[in-house]
Structure 1
Amino acid sequence: MGTHLNRARAHFGTDTRGMLDGGRHALLHTRTLEFDELRPYVPGDDVRDIDWKASARSASVLIKRFVSENHHKVLLVADAGRNMLAVTPERERKCDVALHILGAIGLITLGRADQIGMVYGDARGSLRVRQSRGENHIESMLTGYHGHVGRHGSSDILCQLTYVATHYRHPLVIVVVSDEPEADNRLDEALARLTARHDVMWAMVADHPAAGVSDGGYDVATGRPVLGSAATDPRVVAAYQRAEQRRLARLTEMLARRGIPHATVSGSAGVRRAVGEMTRVWSRAG
């Protein structure tokens, strides 16, 4: 297993059972070799599934049933702009935490034979990786993201969401990985387009708060101070904290209204909890 997948596995673990089961859009319905039960034959059943020995002992023709699986086409949509160079509350770079989340989703798809692709970029545009399967494919995607993130334009996840809404017509399971975006009308319109066709989940990597930092924090995209010299003024800090709470409440309400399971990740240690919680909500909703 490659470097990035191994790092993701170190934080996420190896048990992916039950994750990404269900959902609205099961794109390929197959069966495993795991026997489930016998049932009476009905017209239209595959005659190859008849259990002749069991039928001979019974008064009717019996069919073998097998455990079924639903396979999906998964699309990772990731912010690779400069915002992802900022640090989280756990003092990790956001892009490193994002890589572990992306890798965790990749690990889940490996155990399910799902196809997985990726769209990532910044305000200048989006890069697309076509869907495929396997460790080498996933490691290549993660390597591409790692080499691009933070090196070019500013962050604007709306750019990537709009690209996906425009270019991907067939139903997908979409997992968005970014920081916490601004909940404005443009974002709401993009989410309306996406959720009309696709299943969407969103993992958000938290920012380290500017309040409580001696210099008031800096915006990594612009280099400008967030609070600056006012960081020592309790009234300014309190007003900033209230504004942040309102902003996050608007975002949470928007995602809930659009039926988008979401989780906020403060550091790599929380990746398994967040991904597990997000996928469980999605599976129940499907």
Structure 2
Amino acid sequence: MGRHLNRAIAHFGTDTRGMLEGGHYALLHTRSMEFDDLRPYVPGDEIRDIDWRASVRTGETMVKQFVTEKHHKILLVCDAGRDMSALAPSGEVKRDVATLVMGAVGLISMRRTDQIGMVYGDSLGCANVRPRRGENHIEGMLDGYYAHSLGDVGTSDIVTQLDYVAHSHRRRLLIVVVSDEPDITDRLDDVVTRLTARHELVWVAVADMPAVGADAGEQDAYDVATGRFVPDGVTLGPAVAAAYRRAEARRAAELDEFFLTRGVPFVRINSSAEIRSRMVELTEAYSHAGR
């Protein structure tokens, strides 16, 4: 495998059984050629499935059952803007964690031979990769995303990518969003409402390293969105630092509530070490949402 998928395996593993299954609309059931069992005929069964020899032998009309293959059509929608150059709480660059998350989704799709595509970009626009299957296709998508996010990119605005998907993708999909933690706005609410009316939507947010709270003498935090340094917690003082932490906790709770009330499974990832546990958590939420 290529470097991105190999790194995803190192953090996520190869066991993808049961991952991201259980939704309503995106799952396609197709019959494979692999024989499973015989059972009595019931009205509605296809005549071509009748096993005439077994029927003569048992004195009852018997039909062949075949293994059902399950396929999703998956679309990764990814933030490739400036915010993904910031640091996660683990100290890793957020684009690196995001690429590993998308690699994990790619590994899940490979086991089921899902079709998987990608839309990525920033406030300036979107790049669209058409859905296909296979290791080379997935590795190429990840490489394209990573290379783009290293360039002279615009500010992050995942709503731009989601709005593009809402207008351009009409067939039902399992949409996996990988982004910064979004601001709750009317634009976000509108596009999430439009997408969930047609598609299945799950969301993985790569968290930010706290902007304040460093000890005296440590390097100040750097805001990649504005290009400004943020003073350390000692310079700001304990009251300001405490107010910041309360505001961040409130913002996180409001974001959790936003996705919960809209029926969108949502997880927050702080480091690459959390990818497998958070993907299991996302799968459980997705499975419950599909009931």
TM-score, length-scaled by structure 2: 0.92
Give 1:265's match in structure 2, choosing from 269, 273, 276: 269
- What is the count of residue pairs matched by the alignment? 286
- In structure 1, the residue matched to 2:173 is 172
Taking the aligned partners of 1:48 and 1:20, their CA distance within structure 2 comes to 33
Tell which deviates more after alignment, 215-224 or 135-144.
215-224
Letter paired with 1:197: R
- In structure 1, the residue matched to 2:38 is 38
Partner of 1:38, secondary structure, is: strand
Task: Using the TM superposition, give the Cα deviation of residue 52 of structure 1 relative to its aligned residue in structure 2, in angstroms.
Answer: 3.4
Letter paired with 1:285: A
Structure 2 matches for 1:151-230, cutoff 5 A? 151=151, 152-214=153-215, 215-227=219-231
Task: Using the TM superposition, give the Cα deviation of residue 229 of structure 1 relative to its aligned residue in structure 2, in angstroms.
Answer: 7.2
Unaligned runs of 5+ residues in structure 1 are none
Question: Does the CA contact (< 8 Å) of 2:214 and 2:234 recur in 1?
Answer: no
* Identity value in percent: 57
Unaligned runs of 5+ residues in structure 2 are none
Deviations 1:57-97 (A, max 9, x none): 32311112223233111000000011101111111100000
- In structure 2, the residue matched to 1:66 is 66
Question: Considering only aligned residues, what root-mean-square deviation do their CA atoms show, in Å?
Answer: 1.7
Structure 2 matches for 1:243-282, cutoff 5 A? 243-282=247-286
Taking the aligned partners of 1:228 and 1:222, their CA distance within structure 2 comes to 17
Task: Using the TM superposition, give the Cα deviation of residue 55 of structure 1 relative to its aligned residue in structure 2, in angstroms.
Answer: 2.2
Partner of 1:72, secondary structure, is: strand
Q: 1:233 to 1:141 in 2, by over 3 A?
A: same
Partner of 1:63, secondary structure, is: strand
Partner of 1:57, secondary structure, is: helix
Question: Does the CA contact (< 8 Å) of 1:212 and 1:231 recur in 2?
Answer: no
- In structure 1, the residue matched to 2:141 is 141
Do residues 235 (structure 1) and 236 (structure 2) align? no
TM-score, length-scaled by structure 1: 0.94
Taking the aligned partners of 2:28 and 2:203, their CA distance within structure 1 comes to 23
Do residues 22 (structure 1) and 22 (structure 2) align? yes
Letter paired with 2:95: C
